[in-house]
Structure 1
């Protein structure tokens, strides 16, 4: 057998195609799902599911897994860990007179529910009913949705029907209430029912997570407007040249820092909102819905209610980008103007230095001439003493004539010596 070297992520990537698979859910059944946001540390989430399974006497999950399914009699527990949230789904098989009065959560320890780590974002109950319990939408609304207008459609190419009002209904487990879904299994079967319910749950979860960006977009809208107004003021003063460039540059730097802060605070949230919105659209497509007379289908509801919110977030992100682009252009323009001014100042400084250098050269040449005269004078004086000493010892010499004749020779020698020294220093 030939041994091949496999990539260390081969199995992980292969198993990713089978991550979080839907499970078969025969009707009738009651389902409850909870989605909680958490910080970067997911260890409390892993500890919470381990504590529940331990109390129910079930095997503990792999400490590194991202999803787990456990069965305790007629109760099925599904746990899925995502990037920023964890989702619990509890499935209770069997019929019930009122599926929203006695839910799957009643089978869980109350203290465990109260101690769940994270911030609850999505809480839903769903009832999966057989075709025999199908009723007109108006009756379903009166019975389980308080008479509210329903959102619903045939799903799975007509094999099922899903209803909801996306409102929060009173519940004993949560003061703010739970959302509700009623799904009729006309001919879906357990496997398709499981897929459809998972898509409905994910659609609602991703919708809520996408909307997390909306408050941030609304909060930043006036801030972006304020920065834009200040930028216009700076650019106007740049054109009028009413203030020093250094002060204008400081203001632009401060505006850039504030703009970068806004982007840092919202970049992840806006990017996540775009990703979640795409998932919502994908899950709606996977429902393969068809319109029910008198009801707003899921896609139409999302286009009317969720799409404007996402456009608001996208507009805020685009305004951030345009603001930063304007800041960069204004800063570059001002820096260019400052550089031009500096170049003009440097040219003036160089011209002044050249003029001073020329004056220094002329002064140096004058000093060199004086130096030749001074050195010649001292040399001639010394030589005259030598001539006088020679005459004193009897040398027939006219000292005045000899001194006079030596002056040009000594001056020429001194000049030639200084030129040679200067040439040596320059080279």
Structure 2
């Protein structure tokens, strides 16, 4: 044991490389697989699988396990837990018979257990792996025997080590059928081929989950696009008398709708792109070759799946473009509103300045009257004082003369006194 300190996730990260290794399968064999959409809270799936193992006398998975494989008495079950779905595969080895799809491995699983699966089944396949020594039929006969006469998609896979056939349609029990004929398959190669077909179908279904949302969002985006263009045109029209506040309110409502669509669909669209890349990779890993004039799985997916993914990408791009355009128009309108507000504020300041000047003039007029009024009362006091002094014989001149001479002096004193008081309070004109 090394003395250095290890990261707590070292074992988890190392084991992750081996968690999805394909089981070795020897032809002949039958496989039933289905994917259950559970969402990210899929702990109930482990408990449900443990119930099946207990009923069939097998060891149960540990709590929190992401991968689990066990033998249920001739029926091998392989469980995988992913981010938003769980995958169940049931493998039965041995001769498949003339009509191998009539009794797939899933018929050995209790119906009541299947009925209580946590989540909803999104994709499922029945795969028959035929041995080399079993009778080989022509594609036309295979179509009639196993695929209800439907047009087959076929390819030589694994560089010619096997032949794979399917109509990629749901059969009567709601599963897609694949017939794989062993030409020169090693057990490990057979396991990888089966796993790639399963993952191609599962990821194909998961990728297409975004298509209904894209179709639902497309006409709404078109409506918002037209409304946004109309608002931009009304903004540019100099004869338009609508208030900017009304336009901004309408524009904010549109941008909110765009953001709601983006928020609702962003996860699904991103997941769809990732799943589509996995489908493309699994198709490449199959190393397909043509069988006659029939479409290969890659050609079929390119014709049917790629346009759907292009639609989803187009809607995602339109949503992002509308969000960007809406933000630009909102920014432009807000700038215009701010300019108008600044002009209004400027006019308000000018009006306040004008009122302040009028108030100052009124104040100056009132101050003049105040000097006169205060001077009048003070002159009256001087007159009373002069009369008293005259009556006491102290003052020899007339009290009227004293009062008259006191008028300019009193007015000057009052004026200087008020001016000094104003200066002390910082009310001098210009300050």
User: TM-score, normalised on structure 2?
Assistant: 0.92
In the alignment, the residues of structure 1 paired with residue 248 and residue 270 of structure 2 have an alpha-carbon distance, to the nearest angstrom, of 31
CA drift of 1:74 comes to: 2.2
CA drift of 1:135 comes to: 4.5
* Match of residue 379 from structure 2: 380
* Match of residue 91 from structure 2: 91
Flag structure 2 segments of 5+ consecutive residues without an equivalent. Answer: none
Does the CA contact (< 8 Å) of 1:291 and 1:297 recur in 2? yes
Does the CA contact (< 8 Å) of 2:53 and 2:72 recur in 1? no
In the alignment, the residues of structure 2 paired with residue 17 and residue 369 of structure 1 have an alpha-carbon distance, to the nearest angstrom, of 98
In the alignment, the residues of structure 1 paired with residue 140 and residue 261 of structure 2 have an alpha-carbon distance, to the nearest angstrom, of 47
SS at match of 1:8: coil
Alignment map for 1:132-211 (pairs within 5 Å): 132-133=133-134, 134-170=136-172, 174=173, 177-211=174-208
Query: In the TM superposition, what whole-angstrom CA distance separates every residue of 1:54-75 from its partner, at most 9, and x where no partner exists?
Result: 1111122111111211112321
Does the CA contact (< 8 Å) of 1:203 and 1:280 recur in 2? yes
* Match of residue 225 from structure 1: 222
Does the CA contact (< 8 Å) of 2:40 and 2:85 recur in 1? no
Alignment map for 1:14-413 (pairs within 5 Å): 14-97=14-97, 98-133=99-134, 134-170=136-172, 174=173, 177-240=174-237, 241-398=240-397, 399-413=399-413
CA drift of 1:11 comes to: 2.8
CA drift of 1:84 comes to: 1.7
Pair 1:373–1:4, CA change in 2 (3 A): farther
In the alignment, the residues of structure 1 paired with residue 57 and residue 2 of structure 2 have an alpha-carbon distance, to the nearest angstrom, of 45
> How much is the aligned-residue C-alpha RMSD, in angstroms?
2.0
In the alignment, the residues of structure 2 paired with residue 359 and residue 397 of structure 1 have an alpha-carbon distance, to the nearest angstrom, of 50
User: TM-score, normalised on structure 1?
Assistant: 0.93
In the alignment, the residues of structure 2 paired with residue 6 and residue 360 of structure 1 have an alpha-carbon distance, to the nearest angstrom, of 82
Query: In the TM superposition, what whole-angstrom CA distance separates every residue of 1:60-104 from its partner, at most 9, and x where no partner exists?
Result: 211111121111232110111112211100000111213211211
CA drift of 1:2 comes to: 7.1
Deviates more, 1:229-238 or 1:357-366: 229-238
Flag structure 1 segments of 5+ consecutive residues without an equivalent. Answer: none
Does the CA contact (< 8 Å) of 2:46 and 2:65 recur in 1? no
Pair 1:379–1:10, CA change in 2 (3 A): farther
SS at match of 1:181: strand
Query: What is the number of equivalent residue pairs in this alignment?
Result: 422
